[in-house]
Amino acid sequence: MAGPRILVVGAGIGGLAVARTLARAGFSAEVVERDRAWDEVGTGIYLPGNAARALRALGLEQAVSERGIVIPRQRVSDHRGRLLVEVDLAELWDGVGPCLALQRADLHAVLLEGARDVQIGMGSNVRGLRENNGTVSVEFGDGTASDCDLVIGADGIHSTVRRLAFGSDATARPVGQVGWRFTTACPDELTTWSAMMGHRTAFLMIPIGNGRVYCYCDVVSTSGDDHEDFGRLFSGYAEPVPGLIDSVPDGALVHRSTIEEVALDSWVRGRVLLVGDAAHATSPNMAEGAAMALEDALVLAECLRRLEAIPAALAAFEARRRPRTDWVRAQTHRRDRTRYLPTVVRNMVLRAFGGRIFRSNYHPLRDEA
C-alpha cells in the first residue's frame, strides 16, 4: 500500500493522535479542522493509567506529565462529605501508567506539537462525501474537492463525517443527564480526585495543577433540557462544593451540555472510518474518552501498516477495538444504574463493594489495546 491519500477530519485529541501515529508509521495524512482558531478556553481532563500508556506509545507521556499532576487516589463521598469508598490508583494501574490530570488545552497543545509535521487546514469544513471506484471524493465548504483513499472521521460526538457517511439516523443519543464543567481556584484541602454524590446529582473535583481544579457536575434529567441554575442544584452539598461554585465569577465560562453517547453497528462505510467520540462516545463517568481515542490511533496505524488493503485494515481495526469500547460503554451503564439506586441503598453498596466495582470496571483495560 504505497502512499494512500488519507484525510483526517477533526484536529482534537483523536485526530491529532491519528495524524501522529500515521506519520510515525510512514503514512502521509492531511488534517482538516472546521474551527478557524484553537479554542484557548477549555476545561480540564483526567487521564487514567491506560491513557498514560497510550501517550507513552505515542512518545508524548513525559510532555503531558510535565504539564499536569499525578492523581494518587479516587475518593467518593456522599453529599455531606462522608466517605463511601477510596481507591488507590497506583495499585489499580500498577505496571500500566500513572493517572494524570491537566488543563485540556495543555493536552491539546502537546498533541498539536506532536503533529507539527502534519499539514492541518483550519476553517475547513466537510460538506459532502461520495465514494466512487475505491476512492472518496470529499467536498469542502469553500467549494473545493479532493479525492482520498481513506477518510477518517475524528470530528467528535456530533460528527459531520458520521452524518454524511452513515445518515441522519446515526446520531448521538442522550443518556439522561445534564452536566456542567468549569475550572476555578483549587482549595488547599483538595489534593486528589474527589466526587460527592447526592440524590440524582454528583459533583466531581480534580486538581489539575497550577492552583486550579477541574469541576464536573451533573443531574439526572429525563428530558435533557434541565435549565435550572446548577448552583441551586448543589446548594445542599457540604464544602468544598458551595465554595467552588461561589468562586466562579459572574460571566465566567461554564460549559453546560446534555450528556450523550454514540452506539453504532459499524464504524466503517466503504473507505470512511470513524474513530474516537465520533464512533463510540460514552457518558464521562469512566473518564475513558481520551484513552479510547488515543488507543484507536495506535491500533489503526498498526492495522494499516500490517495489512495491504485498506478495507481489510479497517475491518481488522474495528474487530480489535469494538470489544474494548463496548466494555467501556457497558461499564458506564453499570455505574449509572448504581448511582440511580435509592440514596441509602447506593451508599451501602458503595461502602461494601465500591472498591471491587472500581477494580472490575477497569480490569480489562489494564491489558494492551
- pLDDT at position 40 is 59
Confidence of residue 308 (pLDDT cuts 50, 70, 90): confident
Average pLDDT over residues 258-264: 96
Can you give the pTM of this predicted structure? 0.95
Q: What's the whole-number average pLDDT of the chain?
A: 94
- pLDDT at position 227 is 60
- pLDDT at position 228 is 66
Give CA–CA dist 251/82, Å, rounded: 32
Number of domains in the chain: 1
- pLDDT at position 41 is 59
> Quick one: what percent of the chain has pLDDT higher than 70?
96
Give CA–CA dist 197/112, Å, rounded: 36
Cell matching residue 198: 447526592
pLDDT at position 146 over 80: yes
pLDDT at position 301 over 80: yes
- pLDDT at position 68 is 96
- pLDDT at position 282 is 97
With respect to residue 28, please indicate whether it lies within any of the assigned structural domains. yes
Burial class (CB in 10 A: 0-12, 13-18, 19+), 129: buried
Confidence of residue 221 (pLDDT cuts 50, 70, 90): confident
Average pLDDT over residues 211-240: 84
The string of pLDDT tens digits covering residues 339-360 is 899 999 999 999 999 999 999 9
Alpha carbon separation from 70 to 48, 133, 151, 184, 257 (Å, rounded): 10, 50, 36, 19, 27
With respect to residue 287, please indicate whether it lies within any of the assigned structural domains. yes
pLDDT at position 250 over 90: no
- pLDDT at position 224 is 53
pLDDT at position 177 over 80: yes
- pLDDT at position 37 is 86
With respect to residue 57, please indicate whether it lies within any of the assigned structural domains. yes
CA 343 to chain centroid, in Å, comes to 28
The string of pLDDT tens digits covering residues 50-75 is 999 999 999 999 999 999 999 999 99
With respect to residue 160, please indicate whether it lies within any of the assigned structural domains. yes
Any idea what the CATH number is for the domain that residue 295 is in? 3.50.50.60
Q: Which of 46, 39, 13 is nearest to 214 (CA)?
A: 46
**More confident: 226 or 324:** 324
pLDDT at position 170 over 50: yes
Give CA–CA dist 27/312, Å, rounded: 17
Average pLDDT over residues 248-268: 88
> Quick one: what percent of the chain has pLDDT higher than 90?
87
Range of the domain at 56: 6-69+99-172+262-342
Give CA–CA dist 193/88, Å, rounded: 11
With respect to residue 194, please indicate whether it lies within any of the assigned structural domains. no
- pLDDT at position 1 is 44
pLDDT at position 2 over 60: no
